[in-house]
Amino acid sequence: MCSSREWGEHLHAAVLPAVTAGLALGEEMLELGPGPGAATDWLRTWVRRLVVVERDEQSVNALRTRFEADSVEVVHGDATALPFAARSFDSVAAFTMLHHVPTRSLQARVLSEAFRVLRPGGVLVGSDSIHSDELHRFHREDTYNPIEPATLLAWLGGLGYVRIKIGVDDMLTFVAHKPKVDPDHPWIEE
């Protein structure tokens, strides 16, 4: 489904503009779990540098071909153990990927890694599906581990994110900022 034209159009028209409205995404963004690149194709137009991390090798090869001319940096890696130094990005995006992460602790690890690589004042943006029996059936041969909105809110707060906004409608959306003063390095200000 994520490679269909309809999915791309839905993301571009209804999801990405709504989630990112009014936010400063900065110059350097990291996208987690781009899959075939539906969100990538939109996000790349809003930042100077876009790096994407995808764990599936076939998708990595396809992404490299698709975005070769657009200077998107495609990294074969795992969002639960990001190969980047702390405070490397102004924004991190995770669209429709968290429910593909198989356990609660690994999902929390993705959010914690996003926090680590964000610069102070940086923003995490994303969306995911809300649990439904229909979606469960749709993913019967695939990982399907949707996060309860209240759990996501608790994790984000517990990890140190501030200015958290969770939207619950036909999908789950989230925006969360890293404090302007890095709690691990209070002497470094934005």
Ligand X SMILES: C[S@@+](CC[C@H](N)C(=O)[O-])C[C@H]1O[C@@H](n2cnc3c(N)ncnc32)[C@H](O)[C@@H]1O
Is 53 a residue that touches ligand X (CB under 6 A)? yes
Which pair of structure tokens corresponds to residue 5? 């034209």
Give the Cα separation of 105 and 83 in Å (integer). Answer: 19
Which residues in the chain belong to E strands, given as ranges?
A: 28-32, 49-54, 73-76, 89-95, 118-129, 162-168, 171-177
Site membership for ligand X, residue 39 (CB under 6 A): yes
Measured from the CB atom, the residue of 26 and 34 that comes closer to ligand X is 34
Size of the site for ligand X (CB under 6 A): 21
CB of 190: closest distance to ligand X in angstroms?
28
Cβ partners under 8 Å of residue 74, min gap 6:
34, 52, 54, 60, 63, 64, 67
Give the gyration radius of the chain's Cα atoms: 16
Task: For ligand X, give the closer residue by CB, 54 or 182.
Answer: 54
Write the CB contacts of 188 (distance below 8 Å, at least 6 apart in sequence): 87, 120, 181, 182
Q: What's the CA gap between 55 and 40, in Å, rounded?
A: 15
CB of 36 to ligand X, least distance (A): 7
Single out the residue of 51, 63, 101, 123 in contact with ligand X (rule: CB under 6 A).
101
Binding status of residue 79 toward ligand X by CB under 6 A: yes
Is residue 51 a contact point for ligand X (CB under 6 A)?
Answer: no
Instruction: Scan for tokens 């090869």, then name that residue.
Output: 61
- For position 10 contacting ligand X by CB under 6 A, the verdict is no
Residue 171 is a binding residue for ligand X (CB under 6 A) = no
> Is 107 among the residues that bind ligand X (CB under 6 A)?
no
Q: Residue 126 CB, nearest distance to ligand X (Å)?
A: 9
Residues of the shown chain interacting with ligand X in the complex, contacts defined by CB under 6 A: 2, 11, 32-35, 38-39, 53-56, 59, 78-80, 95-97, 100-101
